[in-house]
Structure 1
């Protein structure tokens, strides 16, 4: 599965700023695990950000999104859109072909 997560700020920048370090740590954790492929701010950045993720089912992706310090603090919310890729450029097909979570494995078994 491939997921597009759109982050939208619900509060003023001054309320978001204290949680930026925790949000960056959250992003780095899931990039290291190979779940987050791309992340970055929208343009303009004051609107929020976007994450492209892979390798977990939608329920797990929603659990991951709920861990974001921005969400926990109530200053932002995610919309999760799950995509079943039908066509893709050959440059990304190998990357998206291998799931991170094998059948029967537990969520805690993901690489760290």
Structure 2
């Protein structure tokens, strides 16, 4: 069976909670991101400017 080539995805995250609430979750959020970096699924990520969310570039077989 042929090996599937992974697709690249751009994931745009929008914060719906107030900034002071989302700031409290930044450490667990980064730990969660690290799991996917280590698995090779996430290639790059960062906050939006102004800080209203973030962007992740990921690779996967499908959505």
TM-score by length of 1: 0.48
Residue of structure 1 equivalent to 2:10: 4
The answer on 1:19 being equivalent to 2:25 is yes
The count of residues paired between Structure 1 and Structure 2 equals 57
Residue deviations 1:1-58, cap 9 Å, x none?
11110010001111112211110001111011110001001122x2111000002310
Match of 2:45 in 1: 39
The structure with higher relative contact order (CA 8 Å, sep 6+) is: 2
Q: How many angstroms apart in 1 are the aligned matches of 2:26 and 2:61?
A: 25
Structure 2 length as normaliser, TM-score?
0.81
Determine which structure has more spread, i.e. the larger CA radius of gyration: 1
1:49 to 35, 40, 54: 54
> RMSD of the TM alignment (CA)?
1.0
